[in-house]
Structure 1
Amino acid sequence: MTRIFDFFFWVIRRTRLVTKDGRCYIEFGNVKYGNHFAFLVDFWMTFVEFRWRFVLFFFFFISFTLSWFIFSLLWFWIARNNRDLKWQDPSNDHTPCVWNVYGLTTAFLFSLETQTTIGYGVHAITPHCPVAVALIIIQTLIGALIHCFICGVIVSKISLPKKRAKTITFSEMAVICPKKDLLCLLIRMANLRKTLMIGSQIYGKLLRTTVKPDGETIIMEQVNIEFMMDAGKDNLFFVCPLTLYHVIDKASPFFDMAVDTFHKQEIELVVFLVGTAETTSSACQVRTSFIPQEIMWGYNFLPIISRSKEGKYRVDFSNFSKVVAVSTAHCAYCFHNIVGHAMGPLMTSESQDTRLTSHPKDSTLGYCF
């Protein structure tokens, strides 16, 4: 049984476009070979978007070690041409290009000491070889460029706006229930940091597969979803968890759906939060998605904000994604077009238990007559 559930959730993850943590799951096929060079043209973003393990391996191992080794070969070549090597048996009054560089190992040590400015004092360049003077200048400049480039990549990766997005969280489930005499789809989100998101805006996209009257099938049609809050939809005061709601009226794409058929829909609701991080002033976008199995019809979120005896506001995150069953119409048509929208019987005490996940079909509380 456990394997069946694991396979079921694996299929869900594979069939969604946007994961819960905001990553887009899509494959690009038959890309022209020439288009791959566009990543080299925009090499800075390519390096910044590398995973940390590639950055650490490529920059700290390949770039430094390879540059040390390449320049050690050049120093070895200079010493060989000047007959400084031990096997060339230089005379006692011979002036080398670099003191104590008489083999490949000592050439590598001199290259490392030069580029990292260690300078143990054992190896030192002499003015006897102009080529050696030019090479040490070139290696010093290239070493400085490598250091600057690596530091820039690391700082850029650390300060990426998407890292700030990790501290914005959404509820695991969305719910559909009445709100202020309207049938609404509700989503809860929270800012885990005490610093605010300035100029925050929230919006959504419904991805669905539709068939036009002429027989054309649109695999990923995007429909705008309007989200609101009691205080408005723009410039959110994001200091505590907020509940966003989308009114399911006749203009909503959810209007023709009912609890019995909701989970058979090929849809995905993608929610976006766009704002500016107060600390770094960098623009940030947070994404998440909900598939039909994650939208619970006939449930509402538990309250999580309270006040202590001292008058302080307190947020209980243990109830952040918890829901409770509420009396809800069977479909949006019933809610809007039948007088009183014929609510079903109230839940029993057993069915009113708070639960984290549930099939919306099992939580239907109303009927159409």
Structure 2
Amino acid sequence: MLAYLRKKLNIHLKEGKRRRARLVSKDGRCNIEFGNVEEQSRVAFLADIWTTVLDLKWRYKMTIFITAFLGSWFLFGLLWYAVAYLHKDLPEFYPSVNHTPCVENINGLTSSFLFSLETQVTIGYGFRCVTEQCGTAIFLLIAQSILGVIINSFMCGAILAKISRPKKRGKTITFSKNAVISKRGGKLCLLIRVANLRKSLLIGGHIYGKLLKTTLTPEGETIILDQVNIEFIVDAGNENLFFVSPLTIYHIINKNSPFFEMSAETLLQHDFELVVFLDGTVEATSATCQVRTSYIPEEVLWGFRFASIVSKTKDGKYRVDFSNFSKTVEVETPHCAFCLYNQKQSITKLTSGYDNPAFTFTEISETVGANETKM
């Protein structure tokens, strides 16, 4: 048992050493950390407070939400208590029977807090109310009402915007676990499958990719995360995708492709990350949505194609079987794009000639020619 656990631990450690760092996770999150940000840049986050609040996680957002309301209620509660204290409306001052307080029925800090809450959220129980005795109390009532509307609008708007962000719509767009390389239309292609799990469509969908790798320039500069454009093609057209069923997008590996110099044997030796993007507009909210995922060399299968996923029932309905969504089938595939290109070129040269049945070849002896020269 101990030997088995030791073996599993060694395998896990080896896999950890081989694990590649990736910029974009499979679910689309960017794994990047910013360090040594200048103080001026940090202030810019506060200047754009709306975006900053929207980007916060839910636990921080709810903390700000609760703190904003409780803090404003308590702050104005202290101010209402100060008004009552200065006007000697509190019971400890033993006001006379004819005394008219600034606020009726404020007896202490607790009742001041309750009056602040009732004023800001406009509950209005009718037990506590402002009188015309104090101009300060009237001004404070107006100030709290205006500030309460601002806080309520901002915080409720932030919660609503957070809930309705199209980022959640992207969770219903899924990519295949692996990318595959095989022949398609007589060309060597890299293929990826993408599906929309909702029946509502993405309007104006556009698919493209970026290959991230470390390159060395002729000047000797090392560029980490150098980006190379990867053009993906969809048989239905790259623009305005009819995304009602899963689509297979493919990239043709030609001389202009960064995958042209790779082969089935050397694929895992390369260090790259293929990031795939899908942009579109959510049909229900008209908000722009971007979905992304990434593939590292271990997730690219050479010599495979995707299994069939769409079928037609006897009732004439189309059925999508998502159990085969990421399933692959091994197929015969050239081990490199360069070999496939040279094979096609040689076949083209071979078939470009013409056969002439009337042509005969006559061999002339060199000795005969020499004797005739002597004569």
Aligned to 2:177: 172
8 Å CA contact 1:22–1:287 kept in 2: the answer is yes
Q: Name the SS of the counterpart of 2:168 in structure 1.
A: helix
CA distance in 1, matches of 2:20, 2:94: 69
Change (3 A) 1:87 1:148: same
Tell me the residue number matched to 1:344.
none
Aligned length: 340
Partner in structure 2 of residue 35 of structure 1: 41
CA distance in 1, matches of 2:137, 2:70: 21
Which range moved further: 142-151 or 240-249? Answer: 142-151
Deviation, structure 1 residue 30: 1.7
Which of the residues 265, 271, 281 maps onto 2:270? 265
Say if 2:151 is the partner of 1:151: no
Q: Does residue 72 of structure 1 match 2:72?
A: no
My pick for the range that moved more, 227-236 or 163-172, is 227-236
Cα gap change, 1:149 to 1:12, in 2 (>3 Å): farther
Once the 2 structures are TM-superposed, how far is the Cα of residue 199 of structure 1 from its aligned partner? 1.2
Instruction: State the distance in 2 between where 1:80 and 1:208 align.
Output: 70
Q: How far off is 1:10 after superposition?
A: 6.5
Structure 1 or 2, whichever has the larger Rg, is: 2
Q: 1:50 aligns with which of 37, 56, 60?
A: 56
Instruction: Say whether the 8 Å CA contact 1:114–1:136 is kept in structure 2.
Output: yes
User: Which runs of structure 2 are paired with 1:1-369 in the superposition (5 Å)?
Assistant: 15-59=21-65, 61-338=66-343
Gaps of 5+ in 2: 1-6, 347-375
Shift of 1:8: 6.7
Residue type of the partner of 1:293?
A: E
Tell me the CA shift for residue 332 of structure 1: 1.6
Shift of 1:212: 2.3
Q: What's the TM-score, normalizing by structure 1? A: 0.88
**Counterpart-to-counterpart distance in 2, 1:240 and 1:126:** 67
C-alpha deviation, 1:214, in angstroms? 3.1
Within 2, Cα distance between the matches of 1:26 and 1:49? 16
* Identity within the alignment, %: 56
**How far apart are 1:77 and its partner, in Å?**
0.4
In the TM superposition, what is the alpha-carbon distance from 1:121 to its structure 2 partner? 2.3
Unaligned runs of 5+ in 1: 342-369
Please report how far the alpha carbon of residue 12 of structure 1 lies from its aligned counterpart in structure 2 after TM superposition: 7.7
- Deviation readout 1:96-122 (Å, 9 max, x if unpaired): 111111211111111111111222222
Q: Is the 8 A contact 1:13 1:19 kept in 2?
A: no
| CA displacement, residues 212-245 of structure 1 (integer Å, 9 cap, x when unaligned) | 2332211111111010022222221111000000
Task: Let me know the Cα RMSD of the aligned residues.
Answer: 1.9
Deviations along 1:170-200, one digit per CA (max 9) or x if unpaired, are 0011001111111110000001111111111
**Deviations, residues 39-89 of structure 1 (Å, cap 9, x unaligned):** 111111111111111111111x10110000000010010000011112222
